[in-house]
Structure 1
Amino acid sequence: MAIIDHTTTARYSDAGRTTTTRRLLACGVAAGPIYLAVVAAQVVTRDGFDLTRHPLSLLSLGPGGWIQTANFIVSGVLFVAGAVGMRRAMTAGIGRTWVPRLIGVFGFSSVWAGVFVADPMNGFPTTAGTSDPTVHGILHSIAPVFAFLALIAACIVLARRYFRAGRRAWGVYSAVVGVALLAPDLLMGRDGFSLALAAAAVVGWTWVSAVAADLLRTTVSQLS
């Protein structure tokens, strides 16, 4: 009769779990840079696009719009995978339940923004008059609301987690990002809104990937 070495089996099981968690967190690490790099390339190459007047969502329209649509969906899926990795890595402490959920909502909102594209506005992608709002345009407008609300809430929860763990720099970083993400709301309907929205995306998307990288470097290594 074969003798089962439960210690060896458990060790291999833990190693497999750690490897999977690392891969999921790596998806979260990659998501932000991928999204921002693709956006940056489009901002400087799309004819007629003006960052001071046009929200990034409009890049999904017109010739080549499929690139931004794919960017929303792919980065969103990667962020959701990263959220699953966070849930596996955050086994204790403040935010172990809600931070992954909130990041998951954020990732899903990106996918939603890719599925339901924005309506044309401010002369992009065409200078023709803006038509009445469409169903997909209205549905698209829901995405940034949920994305930013989820990110702000995640910042607050993670700031508490970091401060409680004595990691003041990360706590301050998370709190500052949470405040910065409010900027677009303060400029809604005013000059500078599109720029504030783009800047908030850079700050927020980078923060999520940074948190995933921190978990990949610290928490997961402790599981090895």
Structure 2
Amino acid sequence: MIAGPFYVIFGLVLAFTRPGFDLRRHSLSLLTLGDLGWLQRTNLILTGIMAVVAAFGMLRAIRNGRGLAMGVLVIVYGAGLVLSAIFGPDPVEGFPVGSAGGTFTLSGILHLLFGALGFLAIAVAAFAYSAWSRSVGARGRATGSIVLGLLVILGFVGGAALSSQPIGVLLLWVAVLAQFLWLGIASAHIYARSPHPLRSLR
């Protein structure tokens, strides 16, 4: 439940304090570059670990096919965050300071690949959660989860396609906030229905 707020607050603090970084033009993943890039890499890794911990909670709490799907997919998502930290993006014009952009490296390609895999995984996890929510009578949560899953996919695809424009950065923010909102809501809901770690939901 704290993974999203942790990542966003940590990332925004870096965004407002790193020279040359412009929230209107640059995605948060670019903060992994430069001398202080280790701070954002740490942010990504810690957030990924928190997501994996949440995934194991889902696997323990919902011991059926939907729980398995959610857990595995959120593990993939968490791993994607960690791998995105290890393989940083390519520099863009203006960031890090003095960069002209326009370069393409294996690390940059892998960063995009792992990022795409993570976004897709958590979106599909939202759809699996929607099916489970409907099965336990939480129809409002089921509908909201579908909406958030679609926002993740559309935000990421649109953001990737328009990454060089402010609208692209805005769409990426939509995807980021939607994924963390879903993870927090789903974690809180599942925990509320299974407060004891040995209790299972079917």
Fold agreement, TM-score > 0.5: yes
Moved more, 126-135 or 172-181: 126-135
- 1:4-46 deviation per Cα after TM superposition (whole angstroms, max 9, x unaligned): xxxxxxxxxxxxxxxxxxxxxxxxx222221111112122222
Kept in 2, the 8 Å contact 1:51–1:195? The answer is no
Aligned to 2:183: 208
CA distance in 2 between counterparts of 1:121 and 1:100 reads: 35
In structure 2, the CA distance between the partners of 1:134 and 1:186, relative to structure 1 (3 Å rule), is closer
1:62 and 2:34 matched: yes
Q: Which one of the candidate residues 142, 146, 150 is aligned to 2:117?
A: 146
* TM-score with structure 2 setting the length: 0.89
Structure number with bigger Rg = 1
d(CA) in 2 for partners of 1:124 and 1:138?
Answer: 18
Question: How many residues of Structure 1 are paired with residues of Structure 2 in the alignment?
Answer: 195
Q: Secondary structure at the match of 1:96?
A: helix
Which position in structure 2 is the counterpart of 1:198? 173
**TM-score with structure 1 setting the length:** 0.80
Contact 1:156 1:174 (8 Å CA) reproduced: yes
Whole-Å separation in 1 of the counterparts to 2:117 and 2:14: 24
Q: 2:93·2:99 contact (CA, 8 Å) conserved in 1? A: no
Residue 23 of structure 1 is matched in structure 2 by none
Which 4+ residue blocks in structure 1 deviate beyond 6 angstroms? none
Q: Which has the higher contact order (CA 8 A, sep 6+)?
A: 1
User: How big is the shift at 1:188?
Assistant: 3.5
Structure 2: tracts of 5 or more residues without a match = none
Q: Give unmatched runs, 5+ long, in structure 1.
A: 1-28
Conserved 8 A contact 2:92-2:101: yes
The CA RMSD measured in Å over matched residues stands at: 1.8
**What is the aligned-residue identity percentage?**
31
Alpha-carbon distance, 1:133 to partner: 1.3
**Partners of 2:160 and 2:111 in 1: how far apart?**
17
User: Cα distance 1:103–1:68, how it changes in 2: closer, same or farther (>3 A)?
Assistant: same
